[in-house]
Amino acid sequence: MSKIVAIAFNTFKEAVRNRVLYVLLFFAIIVLLGAWVVSSLAIFGADKIVRDFGVASINIISVLIAVFVGVGLVYNDLDKKTIYTIISKPISRWQFLVGKFLGLLLTIVVNILFMTFFFLAVLYFRDYTSEESMTSAIMTAADGTYRNPSGAETLMYYVGSIFKSLANSILNVVSLGFYSSEVTAGVMRASMLTMLEMTVVTAFAVLFSSFSSPTLSAFMTIIVFLVGRANEDLYYFADLIQRKAGGVEALQGGQALTYWFSLAASHVSPNLAVFDQREAISQFMPVEISAYSAAYALVYAGCVLAIATIVFNRRNFK
Amino acid sequence: MPPVIEIKGLTKVYVQDFIGTEHGRIKIRLKDRKRIALENLDLNVEEGEIFGLLGPNGAGKTTTIKILMGLHFQSSGSARIMGRELGDNSVKSKIGFLPENPFFYDYLTGSEFLRFYGQLYGVDSATLKRRIPELLEKVGISHAGDIPLRGYSKGMLQRIGLAQSLLNDPKLVILDEPQSGLDPFGRKEVRDLILQLKEEGKTVMFSSHILGDAEMICDRVAILHKGRKIADGPMSDLLSTRIDEYEVAMTGPSDALLADVRKTARRIVERRSEFLAVFDEETAANAVARRLLDGDGKLLSFTPRRESLEGYFIREIGDKRAQEERSPGA
Ligand SMILES: Nc1ncnc2c1ncn2[C@@H]1O[C@H](COP(=O)(O)OP(=O)(O)O)[C@@H](O)[C@H]1O
Ligand SMILES: [Mg+2]
């Protein structure tokens, strides 16, 4: 176990040195700030737009991190031959793979936490500086009439809001979303679901990079993610084709091929819709993390890593 | 005592991918996809000895070592280390290994790197704390413990590579070309280190294509060429069973002696008043020397010429090449 942990931490150290990670994080910050700007242009539903956009961005950036940072990690060890001195130590190949997987997952989780923290701070700050909040806080005189705050007063209010936003944002993240306000409800939970989703995606990234080049691995991991997201749709699509034709037996040629392909894809690919709570976020409903989704992520990732081990166990290291 | 390493009929055939990339281009290979890197190798390494695996580049040394370390799988044949199957973790914990041209995580400092690898060996942190500075000292880079490996020279990497192979105080040390990338002084230090390991009771197997390094320290060697073992045995056997020659240099020999020398010597070279005679037989050379000492002339020097491993090596491989040229396809 301690050997797996040693590999995981070293992998983390390696991953956080990857420039791609910082490019993606920078991109995330731009996008999350952009969500705010864009929403302020909306005539109505601004709150909804910001949240939907932000949650979706965190999700997509996490996938990109898993893909572009993840696929290089195992490959680099093979390419640079660092694997020689690791596998020759009293450590099994599966331990190496699991260590790599955990290190990568740790990297992604830390980054999701960072992005979520940042996005929450944006949401809080946006709320504190909204017209209603400002009006009740500094633009109302003692007798209830409007008053014009001084420049210093306004500045103080903004600075105070930044600190309050950061503090609340930390509390929200640390309490795993229990501590939240109306504007931030569900965001941390959605990020936690993204972490579970990334457990599955990362396992695939490790699987692919254990036998193919980074480019190909990245491509395949993205395919798995997209198909996984469309998992349920594929199933209904297959069902629809079959019902239109009037039963499986009636299917012919290309139709039959499409049917079986969609059906197979929906069964083999992970059902990532399990981790998708965009609907709830959008409706300002509570975001649930079911035991089922957690178990699904762990079991699925475990199976993928088992396959990766089987592939990896037979490899000659060039 | 059973051998530490026991290799029987080990064969490795590399089958290249049908489609691969070469210099960034996709390459489809229809022919020549198989390459026999190792053919029916039998080898034993006994406890406590220094064993040299010698041969020119492409001989199959690295392939042999990679199979022993569980990095490659043999096509046929078998190998056991300390009586156990390859890849057994309890055996791996007693082995130290330095690969050819090693590369390590270059963002770690020397000490961090050794700590990480020590953890992989399962060495506890108290022991590591003591052993890491010792090892850095032993391989002569105690000044570089806090420098990231990316700032290391090739020679320093080779040294830290040696250090990591000793983290677990191994019983068996396997080193692939440990002297490559080192200057003559560094080569000598590695030789001394290998001898020191032997003194500590460890078994050492190392490969080299530079025979001078092996010649002075190996108890036994095996010589590989194109995947086949062409000789093995104790160093002294390999050298002494080969034709030795004796060189006698003299000046002013009597006519009678000179006539006898011309009869028994394989070769005689005359330069001004000096004669250089080369004998195959020790007795003939001795007889000539004795007569010179008895006043039949003046003895300048008497040199038994042991054939060096280098010479042996060139000749053996030369023979093989000649044979192959005579019977192509054999
Ligand atoms: N991964 C590989 N794939 C294909 N051929 C290989 C591979 N590794 C080594 N070879 C070939 O096997 C032969 C032996 O190589 P190697 O064991 O590295 O020799 P040495 O270490 O003695 O220089 C060479 O002809 C080499 O080209
Ligand atoms: Mg080699």
Instruction: Report yes or no on A257 lying in a domain.
Output: no
Residue A181 lies in a domain: yes
- Residue B75 Cα to ligand 1 middle (Å): 14
In which residue ranges of chain B is CATH 3.30.70.260 found? 243-306
**Residue A32 φ then ψ, to 5°:** -70, -35
Residues with CB under 6 A from ligand 1: A 318; B 14, 16, 35, 37, 55, 57-63
- A 195-214 residues with CB < 8 A to B: 213
How many beta carbons lie within 10 A of that of residue A55, not counting itself?
25
Q: How far apart are the first and last CA of chain A?
A: 27
Nearest ligand 1 atom, CA B65? 17
* pLDDT at site B24: 59
- Whether B180 has a pLDDT exceeding 70, the answer reads yes
Residue B306: the pLDDT is: 63
Give me the half-sphere count of Cα atoms (radius 13 Å) on the Cβ side of residue B143: 4
Q: What is the rounded CA–CA span in Å between residue A13 and residue A11? A: 5
Q: What is the pLDDT of residue B111?
A: 94
**Nearby residues of A61 by Cβ (< 8 Å), 6 or more positions away:** A24, A25, A27, A28, A31, A111, A115
Q: Does the pLDDT at position B29 exceed 70?
A: no
Residue contact B119–A2, C-beta within 8 A: yes
Task: Give me the CATH topology for the region B243-306.
Answer: Alpha-Beta Plaits (3.30.70)
Say if residues B230 and B222 touch (Cβ distance below 8 Å).
no
Between B138 and B214, the more confident residue is B138
DSSP B18-40: SEEEETTEEEE--S--EEEEEEE
How far, in Å, is the centroid of ligand 1 from the Cα of B59? 8
B327 DSSP assignment: S
C-alpha dist (Å) from residue B123 to A90, A101, A202, A282, B132: 11, 23, 30, 52, 11
Mutate to test the interface with A, among B66, B119, B169 (most CBs of A within 10 A): B119
Q: Which of A9-13, A303-307, B63-67, B186-190 has the lowest mean pLDDT?
A: B186-190
**Which of A270-274, A306-310, B62-66, B95-99 shows the lowest mean pLDDT across its residues?**
A270-274
Residue B105 to residue A316, Cβ atoms within 8 A: no
Atom of ligand 1 nearest to the CA of B224: 22
Q: How many CB atoms lie within 10 A of CB A33?
A: 14
Q: Is A235 among the domain residues?
A: no
SS3 B193: helix
Which stretches of chain A drop beneath a pLDDT of 50?
A: none
pLDDT band at B167; cut points 50, 70, 90: very high
Answer whether residue A259 is part of any domain: no
State how far the Cα of B86 lies from the Cα of A313, in Å rounded to an integer: 13
| Chain B closest-CA separation from residue A225 CA (Å) | 27
What's the number of domains chain A is made of? 1
Looking at chain B, which residues constitute the CATH 3.40.50.300 domain(s)? 5-239
Selected residue with higher pLDDT from B13 and B236: B13
Q: pLDDT tens digits for A19-55?
A: 888 999 999 999 888 888 877 777 777 788 888 888 9
Q: What pLDDT was estimated at residue B330?
A: 39
Measured between alpha carbons, how far is B165 from B186 in angstroms, rounded to an integer? 17
Q: How many angstroms does the Cα of residue B57 sit away from the middle of ligand 2? A: 6
Q: CB–CB of B69/B205 below 8 Å? A: no
Element (H, E) at A133: helix A131-138
Give CA–CA dist A101/A140, Å, rounded.
55
User: Does residue A254 lie in a domain region?
Assistant: no
Residue B181, Cβ neighbours under 10 Å: how many?
Answer: 18
More confident residue, A233 or B238: A233
Which fold does the domain B5-239 belong to in CATH?
Rossmann fold (3.40.50)
Structural domain includes residue A234: no
Q: What share of chain B is helix, strand, coil (3-state, %, to 5)?
A: 40, 30, 30
Domain of A168 in residue numbering reads as: 2-229+276-313
Tokens of B322: 């000649």
User: Is the pLDDT score of B208 beyond 50?
Assistant: yes
Does residue A160 fall inside a structural domain?
yes
| Best residue of A4, A9, A85, A311 to probe chain B, by most B CBs closer than 10 Å | A85
CA-nearest residue to A213 within chain B is B21
Q: Is the Cβ pair B97, A316 closer than 8 Å?
A: no
**CB proximity list for B239: less than 8 A, separation 6 or greater:** B306, B307, B308, B309, B312
Say what the pTM is: 0.83
ipTM of predicted assembly, 2 dp:
0.84
- Which of A90, A314, A316 has the CB atom closest to B122's CB atom? A90
CA angle B168, B169, B172 (to 5 degrees): 100
| A-B contacts at Cβ under 8 angstroms | 76
Quickly state the pLDDT bin for B278 (edges 50, 70, 90).
confident
